[in-house]
């Protein structure tokens, strides 16, 4: 059997809205991926520790609190420190268009805002996963 893509779906920050995270987890499951969901209010340190232990290929983070400019790059930075920056990192949620170029420059491979179809996200993962 082909190795399934392993994805950590994480909710950094303090907002309690996980509808989006659960929806994307379900869509990735239906696309044949192994999704590790770690629940609400995760610190970047917790997310990276889980990603290392689970040996995931991808981290997807859903954030609606407005703290994306701090939390998402922090995850990339911690991954780099561990030598694990071959993990594909993407974000989603209510993130202003103006913030997206800055996030990409800091190593977030893509940012999906409301209106993105799950098919687009799945295609993005399949085409960009680095270490699968």
Partner 1 sequence: MSELIEKLLAGDKRAVARAITAIENYEDETEAIIKEIHKYTGNAHVIGITGPPGAGKSTLTDKIVKNLIAKGKKVGIIAVDPTSPYSGGSILGDRIRMQDLALEPNVFIRSMGTRGYLGGLSKATHNAVKVLDASGVDYIFIETVGVGQSEVDIVKTADTVLMVMVPGLGDDIQSIKAGVMEIGDIFVVNKADLFGAPRTATEINMMLDLNQNMKRRPPVLLATAGKNEGIDELVDELEKHREYLNETGELTERRLNNTRMEVIELIESELRKIVINHTEEEGRMKKCVEDILAKSTDIYTVRDEFLKSIRG
Judged by the rule CB under 8 A, the positions of this chain that interact with partner 1 are 1, 3-4, 25-26, 28-39, 42, 45-46, 49-50, 52-55, 82-84
In this structure, how many other beta carbons lie within 10 angstroms of the beta carbon of residue 8?
26
Spell out the long-range contacts of 77-82 with Cβ–Cβ below 8 A and sequence spacing 24 or more.
78/44, 78/45, 78/48, 79/48, 79/51, 80/107, 82/48, 82/52
Residue closer to partner 1 by CB (options 33, 108) is: 33
Residue closer to partner 1 by CB (options 8, 108) is: 8
Q: How far is the CB of 20 from partner 1 (least distance, A)?
A: 15
Which residues, in sequence order, are CB contacts of 38 under 8 Å at separation 6+? Answer: 8, 9, 10, 11, 46, 47, 50
Q: How far is the CB of 34 from partner 1 (least distance, A)?
A: 5
Q: How far is the CB of 86 from partner 1 (least distance, A)?
A: 12
Cβ(7)–Cβ(28) below 8 Å: yes
Q: How far is the CB of 70 from partner 1 (least distance, A)?
A: 19
Residue closer to partner 1 by CB (options 10, 111) is: 10
Residue closer to partner 1 by CB (options 34, 77) is: 34
């Amino acid at each position: 059997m082909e190795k399934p893509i392993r994805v950590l779906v994480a909710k950094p920050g303090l907002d309690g809205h996980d509808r989006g995270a659960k929806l994307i987890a379900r869509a990735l499951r239906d696309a044949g991926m192994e999704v590790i969901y770690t629940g609400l209010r995760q610190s970047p340190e917790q997310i990276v520790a889980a990603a290392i232990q689970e040996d995931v290929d991808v981290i997807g983070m859903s954030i609606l609190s407005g703290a994306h400019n701090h939390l998402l790059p922090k995850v990339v930075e911690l991954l780099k420190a561990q030598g694990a920056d071959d993990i594909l990192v993407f974000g989603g949620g209510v993130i202003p268009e103006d913030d997206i170029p800055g996030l990409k420059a800091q190593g977030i491979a893509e940012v999906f805002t409301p209106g993105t179809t799950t098919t687009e996200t799945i295609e993005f993962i399949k085409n960009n996963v680095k270490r699968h």
